[in-house]
Amino acid sequence: LSKCIMLMILAIIYCLLELSASILFAFMIGNVTNASSFILFSILSGVFIFTCSMPVVLFVITFGKNFTVSNIASFIYGVICTGPGGEVLLKSKIGVLPIVMVFRWYLGYFPLEERLEKFNLYVVPTPVMIGYILIFLAITVFIGILVYRKKEV
C-alpha cells in the first residue's frame, strides 16, 4: 500500500511539473488564464492516471518474480486500452476501461473544434469520473491485498 501511495504522489508531482512548464511558457508569451483550474486538473489527472496503472501493479504482484509474464500482461493491457484508438475506443465496450474513461473526461475539460464536437456525446463529467475512479481503485486495491496475502502464506 505504501508503494502505491508513493506511485500516486509521483504521478501527481509529474502532472504538476508538466503544468508548471506550461505556465512558465504561458508567462513568457503573456497569456496566463485560469491557472487554479489547471492546477486542479493536473492533480486530478495525476490521481486518475495512477488509478489506471493499478492493474499493472496487480500484474506485478500476481506474477511475482516472473518479470516476463508481468511485462507481457502489462503490454497486453496497454494495447487493449489504447490499441484501436479514436472513435472505435469511444463506441466499443473497451470504452469503460480506466484510461479510456480518463480520455473521455479530458474531452470535456478543453474546448473542441467544430469538427470534433461529435465527440461531446462521450464526455464524462468530473463527479462521475471521480466516482468511477474511486470504485475502480477500491476494487484493484482489494484484489491486490487478497493476492498479496495469498502470496505471503
Walk along the chain (153 residues) and give the pLDDT tens digit of each residue: 677 778 788 888 888 887 787 777 777 777 667 777 777 888 888 888 888 888 888 877 777 767 777 778 777 877 777 666 666 666 666 667 788 888 888 877 777 677 767 777 778 888 999 999 999 989 988 988 888 788 776
Cell numbers describing residue 87: 472513435
Q: Which of 110, 104, 141 is nearest to 8 (CA)?
A: 141
Any idea what DSSP says for residue 59?
H
C-alpha to C-alpha distance for 61 and 66, rounded to whole angstroms: 10
Residue where the block lists cell 506511485: 7
Identify the sign of the CA torsion 9, 4, 38, 84.
positive
The whole-number pLDDT of residue 87 equals 63
pTM, two decimals, is 0.73
> What interhelical angle do 126-152 and 54-63 show, nearest 10?
10
